[in-house]
Amino acid sequence: MESIKVNNAIDKAFENSKQRGEALFMPFLTVGDPSPSATVEILKALEESGAGLVELGVPYSDPLADGPVIQRASERALRHQITIRQCIAIAKEARAAGVSIPFVLFSYYNPVLQTGIELVMQEAADAGISGLIIPDLPHEEDSQTREVAAKHGLHLIPLVAPTSEQRIQRIVSKASGFVYCVSSLGVTGMRAQFHDGIDQFLSTVKNATLLPIAIGFGISNSEQFKRFSETCDGIVVGSAVVNQIEQAASLLESVAEREQGLQKIREFVVQLKGS
């Protein structure tokens, strides 16, 4: 149950939410969807609506872990030629615009490797990013990336899917920041139901680590949010948020109408959180 802790903004966010007695709301968005400037404004709106941490998705042409909603978001963002370095630059722009909640960069491994692990970690830290999630980097092969991330004060956050207790223990033994529990096997997407063993799985992960645990992949409504808030420290909402962005894309792309689109996102978050 050893854990690595560097006391960055992620640690503080979870500590603060624990003191408030509530789960941390952790939305995901695809950077550059529907436009780079809209992303900054969406981040501001999410923070205003009660987000405690945001996952910044790097658009990718072959998003193996993502369902159709986030795949379409990547397609829209890639029309703007968004790269991982541009995602980091947009995070820095959001910081300059006053967004203060922690950022976690969510990227497949190829953009990190092609750009350079050292360069990505250095620029991410300089931009005020606090951690990374790399869904296709298995823990057996993450030592170099983890070491470089730690050197720059960044958490490399593991994804843990339902698996054996022994494998869960191996994965979380090297974890830092928090442990991201995948609610079900398969890709991201909004779900009506979760598998029968989900509560036992979450209990197993909690017993294996001292770090906060967050759950994601499928949380899409207030009932689900409330249910998992009772057992998890953080709730990741991805496809449901990205779906709201997609529905409001035409408004968000227009500077004149953007506020209307942002208001739709705020209203969705308030309804989701039941606040």
The model's pLDDT over 111-123, given as tens digits with 9 standing for 90+, comes to 999 999 999 999 9
For residue range 213-227, what is the model confidence (pLDDT) as tens digits?
999 988 989 999 999
Q: Is 55 a catalytic residue?
A: yes
CATH number for the region 9-269 comes to: 3.20.20.70
Domain ranges of the chain: 9-269
- Dist CA 231 CA 205 (whole Å): 11
Of 66, 123, 233, 246, which residue is the catalytic one?
66
Q: Is the peptide bond before 34 cis (omega within 30 degrees of 0)?
A: yes
pLDDT at 211: 97
Residue 83 and residue 87: Cα distance in Å, rounded? 6
Per annotation, catalytic residue among 55, 123, 233, 246: 55
Residue 66 is among the residues annotated as catalytic for this protein: yes
Residue 16 has what pLDDT? 95
Whole-prediction pTM: 0.93
How confident is the model at residue 185, as a pLDDT?
58
Q: What parts of the chain have a pLDDT lower than 50?
A: 1-6, 187-192
Q: What is the DSSP string of 61-123?
A: SS-TT--HHHHHHHHHHHTTT--HHHHHHHHHHHHHTT--S-EEEE--HHHHHHH-HHHHHHH
